[in-house]
Copies of this chain bind each other. A is one copy, B any other.
């Protein structure tokens, strides 16, 4: 009897986990295409009913939060494989190259998050990537290649801000996706250079004006 009940509730729990997982995946997909995707669309894409969706998520904000959390967890796993050792300036260029693709792919989802979640929550969800940059900036400062006259938190924010602003420039038709990583890197490396020392030349081709 106990055995049957417990295996029944185990099965129910497994069902619930599968439903939640399908909803979060569908939310990441749908909101990743269209930040205004409705909860009905998301439920349909997940192959569950609206009632099931509402059984697991109290609001649209909770669905967006779960989709954002998944995207950032996956993104942070991808960043894990980026080599951030060696010359901090070259490590930064590699981080931007990898991070930019993640930001570019997650644009629509981030737009949904900016409507539904607080600035503080979005910042909290970025804690993983922010910690990676913080470690790199700290090392670059210790090695004398990044500036120490501005707070570390400010430099981390400058990098992420400029990365995100590139998506706006692309939407405005003033930047192409294939030039973005090089422009972001050139800008951020200069912004991080200690006053009195020369801005590194990354051998970018001229894109004037």
Q: Which residues does A use to contact B, with CB under 8 Å?
A: 114-115, 119-120, 123, 147-154, 157-158, 161-162, 165, 168-169, 171-172, 174-175, 183, 186-188, 190-202, 204, 206-209
A158 to B191, CA, bound (A): 10
A139 to chain B, nearest CB (A): 13
Contacts of A119 in B (CB 8 A): 168, 171-172
Minimum C-beta distance from A191 to chain B (A): 4
State in angstroms the CA–CA spacing of A172 and B120 once bound together: 7
Contact with A151, one of B123, B148, B199, B208 (Cβ below 8 angstroms):
B208
List B contacts of A169 (CB < 8 A).
Answer: 153-154, 157
Q: With A119-B171, A174-B154 as given contacts, are A199 and B194 in contact (CB-CB < 8 Å)?
A: yes
Chain B residues with CB below 8 A from A207, complex form: 149-151
* Minimum distance in angstroms from A70 CB to a CB of chain B: 24
CB distance from A35 to the nearest CB of B (A): 12
Bound CA–CA A148/B12 (angstroms): 63
Contacts of A153 in B (CB 8 A): 169, 174
Greatest chain B CB density within 10 A among A123, A151, A154, A204 is at A154
Tell me whether A193 and B196 are in contact in the complex, defined as CB-CB below 8 angstroms, given that A174-B153, A206-B148, A207-B151 are known contacts: no
